Amino acid sequence: MATSRPLRLSAAALAAAALLISGCSAGSSSTGGAASPGRTTEAGAQRPTAASTLQPLPPAIPANLRPYYDQKLAWHPCKAAGFECATLKVPLDYAKPGAASDLKLAVARKKATGPGSRLGSLQLNPGGPGGSAIDYLEQYAPQPAAVRARYDLVAMDPRGVAGSEPVECLTNQQMDRYTQTDQTPDSPAEVNKLVTSYRDFAKGCSSRSGKLLPHVSTVEAARDMDVLRAALGDKKLAYMGASYGTFLGATYAGLFPTRSGRLVLDGAMNPDLDSRTTNLDQTIGFNTAFTAFAADCVKQKDCPLGHKNAADAGKQLSALFKKLDTHPVETGEPRKLTESLATTGVIAAMYDQRAWPMLREYLAQAKAGNGRGLLTLSDSYYERDPNGSYANQMYANPAVNCLDLAPAFTSPEQVRAALPSFRKASPVFGESFAWAALNCAYWPVKPSGTAHRIPAKGADPILVIGTTRDPATPYTWAKALAAQLTSATLLTYQGDGHTAYGRGSDCIDTAVNAYLLDGTVPPKNKVCK
């Protein structure tokens, strides 16, 4: 049951999937729609209305927030060698700060190694929402050397995520059942079962994390980043965000334009869209990515989807999903490969074209009655360990999304009415994505945000990166965000996969490194291939 809001699946996760298949071991939604009136909350932060703009906070730090901004971080060695860890205190509610309700957020850093003068801290966020920035830091820190030499690389798990007061919702066994729920219901009984799964998920989150759920918005997470900036001693924020991390970074720039330094927003989101449009756009994005995969697949000798054309390959994949809907296949463990798990496994492989050979192999296995490969890809997407334990990303993801925007759909009837447009957007994934967009209809906390523009007037130059065949964050979003941000420059990668930096393009990497190290902005309309 894949969420249809951006999630970043790392190359490391895909590599782990391959290792698991070979018997080795490796180390370790949709939202939005109806607009609601804007209102001033969180000590002056303006919640935007639809078609409005995010207004900056007053530059002066309020007296009741000064203790948070003045705190000194107590660094100590992390479990991971070569990293330092600390805890940052932030208010649960910025409108009512108080020590009794403070949150403790996990922070880690890799200090600048030199040579060259230190440029300050570079905060990192991998997206999700719900991705652990600290886990990302441990993967990212070895490269690139030039950036690592000049910046302290810093990661903070956002509130509600991983090491920072994580949102909790279901037991591992309950999550297993949730991920196997049929997401293309064929009867009223199956619709009721899907709705019940969404209701039970929401109830689980409310019972385990009810106090936290109203306070995991992107605006609040951006305010936490400013507190961390001050605690690190940086006058301005230097930041690299991927996928949802671009929305977080752009929100920071909108709230604190005069404190925004060099911001890299890779795989950009468009905050000006309601959730139904966001989900439909992403459905189109995954269809574009699958078409690219299919066009390549039919040229390969080992393609399990035939050798005609991409459209026919899509029909064959749909036929496989339909077969799995009624006859799940064995996987070598108690869980069978269902249609929902298979769909999630294919979606996971769309994030990185380097997974295409693996996907061809696993589809062939599934057609032959062995679902182990696609199940492992699905598990990598859900961050399910081989021992059956889930990370909290799939709990934090809807918690943030359902708070940031109103639901895409509020009833099964609305989903049914929208199915033709979603099927048109993607004959393979459209129906599944449409029903996935119903999850926030049953969320226990009302949304506090709406669609809005972010001009961030007064911010330093910002670098926005878009990939032309990005499945999770369509290229149109990058163009839209770059147009909104007053000081933004768009850098385009003509290629496949989710995000562009650090994924093999010397052109992209060189341009980003020059911006981070020297402040050099790429030429207007620069395209890398």
pLDDT of residue 439: 96
Question: Mean pLDDT across the stretch 85-96?
Answer: 98
Q: What would the two tokens of residue 25 be?
A: 């071991």
- The pLDDT assigned to 144 comes to 86
Question: What band does 393 get if pLDDT is binned at 50, 70 and 90?
Answer: very high
Q: What is the dihedral of CA 508, 512, 513, 519, to 10 degrees?
A: 150
Cβ neighbours, 10 Å, residue 310: 17
pLDDT at 315: 98
Asked if the model's pLDDT at residue 22 lies above 90, the reply is: no
Q: What is the pLDDT of residue 143?
A: 76
**pLDDT at residue 48, rounded to an integer:** 46
The pLDDT value given to residue 21 = 30
Locate 159 and state its tokens: 């509130």
Q: Is the pLDDT of residue 12 over 90?
A: no
- Exposure of 507 in the CB half-sphere (CA atoms within 13 A): 12
Query: 3 or 380: whose pLDDT is higher?
Result: 380
Q: Is residue 78 very low, low, confident or very high in pLDDT (cuts 50, 70, 90)?
A: very high
Share of the chain above pLDDT 70, in %: 90
Kindly indicate the confidence band of residue 301, based on its pLDDT and cuts at 50, 70 and 90. very high
Q: For 409-418, what is the mean pLDDT?
A: 98
CA 141 to centroid of chain Cα atoms: 20
**Average pLDDT of the residues in 457-468:** 98
Region 276-298: mean pLDDT is: 97
The pLDDT of residue 6 is 52
140 band by pLDDT with thresholds 50, 70 and 90: confident
**pLDDT mean over 370-389:** 97
SS3 371: coil
Residue 172: CB atoms within 10 A of its CB come to 12
The pLDDT of 202-212, averaged and rounded, is 98
C-alpha distances in Å from residue 316, one per residue of 186, 364, 529: 20, 12, 31
pTM: 0.91
Q: What is the pLDDT of residue 228?
A: 98
Q: What is the pLDDT of residue 142?
A: 72
Average pLDDT over residues 141-161: 93
Alpha helices in 298-334 (DSSP H): 310-326
Q: How confident is the model at residue 27 (pLDDT cuts 50, 70, 90)?
A: very low
Which sequence positions are flagged as catalytic? 243, 470, 498
pLDDT at 35 over 70: no
- What is the rounded CA–CA span in Å between residue 314 and residue 369? 19
For residue 182, is pLDDT > 90?
yes
Please state which of the ranges 8-12, 21-25, 493-497 shows the lowest mean pLDDT. Answer: 21-25
The token pair at 312 is 């026919």
What is the C-alpha to C-alpha distance for residues 407 and 421, in angstroms, rounded to an integer? 17
The average pLDDT across 145-155 equals 95
Q: How many Å apart are CA 242 and CA 259, to the nearest integer?
A: 20
Q: Give the pLDDT score at 51.
A: 55
Instruction: Indicate the domain borders of the chain.
Output: 11-20+168-211+275-382+408-442
Percentage of the chain modeled with pLDDT above 90 = 88
DSSP state string for 125-138: E--TTT--HHHHHH
Residue that wins the pLDDT comparison between 51 and 349 = 349
At 46, the pLDDT band (50, 70, 90 cuts) reads: very low
Per-residue pLDDT tens over the stretch 345-363? 999 999 999 999 999 999 9
Identity at 321, one-letter amino acid code: F
Residues near 488 by beta carbon (within 8 Å), at least 6 away in sequence: 461, 462, 463, 464, 481, 482
Tokens of 277: 């449009």
Q: Computed over its alpha carbons, how large is the radius of gyration of the chain?
A: 22
pLDDT at 34: 24
Question: Which DSSP string corresponds to 11-51?
Answer: HHHHHHHHHHHTT----------S----EEETTTEEEPPTT
Give dist(CA 323, CA 337) in Å, integer: 11
Q: Are 169 and 177 in contact (CB under 8 A)?
A: no
Tell me: pLDDT of 40 over 70.
no
- Residue 242 DSSP code: E
**Mean pLDDT (the chain, rounded):** 91
36 pLDDT tier (thresholds 50, 70, 90): very low
Note the pLDDT of residue 2: 53
Distance CA 476, CA 455 (A): 17
Residue 354 corresponds to which tokens in the numbers above? 């380097």
What is the model's pLDDT at position 15? 35
- Residue 168, pLDDT > 70, answer yes
